[in-house]
Structure 1
Amino acid sequence: MTMPVSRRAFVAATAGVAAIPFVGLASGEVKPRAAGRIVVPPGGKVGIGFIGCGKRAAEMVGPFLNRADVQLVAVCDVDTTRREHFKKLVNDKYKNSDCAAIVDYRELLARKDVDAVVITTPDHWHAPQIIDSANAKKDIYCEKPLTLTLAEGKACIDAVRKHDRVFQTGSQQRTEYDGKFRTACDYVRSGRAGKIISVHVGVQDPPKACDLAEETMEQGLDWDRWLGPAPMRPYNSILSPRGMHNHYPMWRLYWEYAGGLLADMGAHHFDIAQWGLDMDGAGPIEVHPPTDEKAVVGARFVYANGVEMYHGGPSGTSFIGSKGIIAVDRDRLHSVPEGILKDPLKEADVHLPKHADHITDWMECIQSRKRCICDVEVGARTAAVCQLANVAYRYRKALKWNPTTWEFIGNVEANAWRDYKRRDGYELPVA
């Protein structure tokens, strides 16, 4: 097929995209109430529990502590230093000693004063904690990527739907970054770039097996709980730096715990591809590995409407259409020709919803019981795109995927790759 826009134009358009965060009492006390729908009248507060107290949680806790409609009542982490640090942070803010510090997240979920949870643990823990939280009738905000495996994605959707929970996935490009990503998708879905032929998503490499050497571990970390469902292995500080730290730990590089940097940023940029293609409730039907067996870029997806999507290119998401290109990243929104974005959208064009920010959207939906902009299915299907790419890289096979049944078509071997064997005692919960 002849490309409507030259490769030179595509590179020029995207080269500058930068690479790569009840009844309430007037006093603020949170009164216990029955699990289920949360109803908070004016002046009341939603009781929040944090599961995970690492780097990402440290970035998120401030906005929650500053909200008048929230009371942070409990924090949970398997690292003593992080757990106690967060407890002090909360108590200092509220000028009391009420915040509970908990090791086992299931104890947090059993509390009647916890209405909703924020999950910021490593990716291999997301699905068990999501399902347990839904079973406990808590509303849920979970960081991206939503799940580690394809099977987990469907299980999380089923659990959240069964218990009618309000869910937000932490793919915040839909609500933040000055509306760049929303605007890009408005123009794409309004046909301003013409018929979309392909999408290029620039994120980094797939995961690899963890081969880190054993290190001596200081006391204060429950290493068995940190590993959870993952295979038993010796401690290494790259996976879980002790105490508070100012960097994102690199467990995200290894397939035992995460989907590599491909999924880490893919949960943002593939999410925008899905949004722009209006595929929040579906996904690709084929995935193909690159022809070079050693390549860690170049995986190709095919959608039912014929659109092809590629892992590779400049950072961000680039939509290639019959009339031009729309490329977006956190610091840039650009089109070729430039006139595409200079022509204002009409009233009849697509105008995706605007939100103040991701947390506010979740809090408002807790009250309205509407679905958030990054509902559980949105997050699970974006994670599935990343996981399909990782399956193609790891096993080097072209595969047909049924996004309705969440199964590979006609391939028993591939369907076994949708999940992994969990350690005894850490089985995936059932909704």
Structure 2
Amino acid sequence: MSSSSSSSRRRFLQTATAGVAAPFFIPGRTWAQDAAPNERIVMGFIGMGKQMGGLLSRFLQYPNVQVVAVCDVDTTRREDAKAKVDKAYGNTSCKAVNDFREITTNKDINAVCIATPDHWHAIISLSAVTNGKDVYCEKPLTHNIHEAVTLVDTVRKNNRILQTGSMQRSSAEFRIACELVRNGVIGEIKTVDTSFGGPAKPCALPEEPLEPGLDWDRWLGPAPVRPYNSELSPRGVSKNFPMGWRYSREYGGGMVTDWGAHHIDIAQWGLGMDENGPVEVRPPADWQTAQKGGQLVYANGVILNHVTGKGCSFFGSEGEVHVNRGKFELVLGGKTKAKFWDKDLDKGTSLQREYTLMEREFLANAKVKLYNSKDQIQDFLACIKSRQKPVCDVGIGASSAIACHLLNIGYYYGANLKWDPIKNQIVSGGDPKWLTRDYRGEWKV
């Protein structure tokens, strides 16, 4: 794959520059005056769905951020986002566009935030990075393994900052759980259980009347042409997280890449496998219909199981660590040392109290201290200024996405695949075409 990256990027750049727009005029008094002009981070936002609604609100809170443009292929969503930005700044200056390249190629913009469906993540990120932008991109970072490898290479060559939106890395319960594991508190790790839903299936949704104001061809982008269905792109402003595209292989990877990108990310953080990964994929016996049961095997013999469980659970020779959002549990020698899992049952304590006590008892003189980010967005903005790698840098986000894609390959093809996580190549048991996709039209990676 690495041998094709250069030619792939050249093809991409040829298409990425085709939609270059004139620079935006950014009035001098359209944002908070707290930040000096050379400290302001001018941003554009691409993919104005449910997830981006929360992200946009968060970024608007920072006085050193100036949002100047929003992009969506749905007229209603992009105009709603523009109105939100204009209301925040008390003007009508935010530009609303249909073509993401009007943002990614604009020299007045410093950074972009991307929260489109997964099949667009890499293409938009590559356009932004090759045009000098820093990027905040939602997880999973890419739609397939080839895109992950290409994106890491491109970000590094262009010296850009890319933060993956794996926000669990900025929550203390996950960091402390991983520090307990990394410092040997529960002994030698044997297995890790990760809990999330199943893989995606080929899209079979029926045709519906096209949503007025939606550029359906552009929504599809690199994916195959198929009829519109509102489960893929809901009508109007998104009130819920659309599941139709997430469960369709053409656009997403099911819950394996959606929630799996969160919990497998934490598993690899705890195992010390960032920018590394598994060496083997083991599909379940009933892989054609299975929703759980796949395994990833690491070079040290640790087995990651896809199960119905507690979120992310590490099992060692001396104990167990379980962690999920707002939940934490440490078991040593068969006895519970700390637990906050159910607020109705675990009364008289709190999540922060439980993990803080364990941090004081077991990690006061820890040899391994992990990146301590209090907030994923704040960390991204700080790294734009410092030029240091963020808590979920592109290499980390890519390796977590690759692990998810490998697990899905087991479900899709039933292959017991041997993998080289450093070269990102199949060693045996698989077909290289599984690592990429057929790209439609002008959209190439």
Does the pair score TM above 0.5? yes
Output the aligned Cα RMSD. 1.9
User: Paired residue for 1:8?
Assistant: none
User: Paired residue for 1:267?
Assistant: 261
Tell whether the 8 Å contact from 1:26 to 1:43 is kept in structure 2 after alignment: no
Q: Describe how 1:81-160 pairs up with structure 2 within 5 A.
A: 81-160=76-155
Tell whether the 8 Å contact from 1:198 to 1:319 is kept in structure 2 after alignment: yes
Quickly say closer, same or farther: Cα 1:76–1:392, change in 2 above 3 A: same
User: Paired residue for 1:277?
Assistant: 271
What is the distance in 2 between the residues matched to 1:25 and 1:350?
A: 47
Tell whether the 8 Å contact from 1:73 to 1:113 is kept in structure 2 after alignment: no
User: Paired residue for 1:207?
Assistant: 200
CA-CA distance at 1:27 after TM superposition: 4.1
2:378 is paired with a residue whose SS is helix
> Which of 423, 428, 441 in structure 2 is aligned with 1:410?
428
Q: Describe how 1:379-398 pairs up with structure 2 within 5 A.
A: 379-398=397-416
> Which of 313, 318, 325 in structure 1 is aligned with 2:320?
325
CA-CA distance at 1:29 after TM superposition: 5.9
What is the distance in 2 between the residues matched to 1:184 and 1:361?
A: 20
What is the distance in 2 between the residues matched to 1:408 and 1:372?
A: 29
TM-score normalised by the chain length of structure 1: 0.88
CA-CA distance at 1:107 after TM superposition: 1.2
CA offsets 1:90-132 (integer angstroms, 9 cap, x no match): 1111111111111100111222221000000000000101111
1:364 is paired with a residue whose SS is helix
Tell whether the 8 Å contact from 2:148 to 2:398 is kept in structure 1 after alignment: yes
What is the distance in 2 between the residues matched to 1:211 and 1:72?
A: 38
Which 10-residue stretch deviates more, 340-349 or 161-170?
A: 340-349
Q: Which amino acid aligns with 1:406?
A: N
What is the distance in 1 between the residues matched to 2:109 and 2:293?
A: 44
Report the identity percentage.
46
Q: Describe how 1:192-271 pairs up with structure 2 within 5 A.
A: 192-250=185-243, 251-271=245-265
CA-CA distance at 1:361 after TM superposition: 0.1
CA offsets 1:211-233 (integer angstroms, 9 cap, x no match): 00000013200000000001100
1:160 is paired with a residue whose SS is helix
CA offsets 1:172-216 (integer angstroms, 9 cap, x no match): 00103xx11001001000100001011110111011110000000
1:253 is paired with a residue whose SS is coil
1:83 is paired with a residue whose SS is helix
Tell whether the 8 Å contact from 2:275 to 2:398 is kept in structure 1 after alignment: no
What is the distance in 2 between the residues matched to 1:218 and 1:128?
A: 24
Q: Tell me whether 1:358 sits opposite 2:367 in the alignment.
A: no
Q: Tell me whether 1:335 sits opposite 2:330 in the alignment.
A: yes
CA-CA distance at 1:425 after TM superposition: 1.8
TM-score normalised by the chain length of structure 2: 0.85
User: Paired residue for 1:425?
Assistant: 442
Which 10-residue stretch deviates more, 133-142 or 284-293?
A: 284-293
Q: Which amino acid aligns with 1:314?
A: G
Tell whether the 8 Å contact from 2:330 to 2:337 is kept in structure 1 after alignment: yes
CA-CA distance at 1:376 after TM superposition: 0.5
User: Paired residue for 1:184?
Assistant: 177
Stretches of structure 1 that go unaligned for 5 or more consecutive residues are: 1-23, 31-39
CA-CA distance at 1:246 after TM superposition: 1.0
What is the distance in 2 between the residues matched to 1:266 and 1:124?
A: 17
Aligned residues: 394
1:417 is paired with a residue whose SS is helix
Tell whether the 8 Å contact from 2:295 to 2:304 is kept in structure 1 after alignment: yes
Q: Tell me whether 1:373 sits opposite 2:396 in the alignment.
A: no
What is the distance in 1 between the residues matched to 2:291 and 2:175?
A: 29
Q: Describe how 1:282-297 pairs up with structure 2 within 5 A.
A: 282-293=276-287, 294-297=289-292
Q: Which amino acid aligns with 2:337?
A: G
CA-CA distance at 1:41 after TM superposition: 5.6
Stretches of structure 2 that go unaligned for 5 or more consecutive residues are: 1-25, 339-354
CA-CA distance at 1:405 after TM superposition: 1.4
Tell whether the 8 Å contact from 2:70 to 2:94 is kept in structure 1 after alignment: yes
CA-CA distance at 1:43 after TM superposition: 7.3
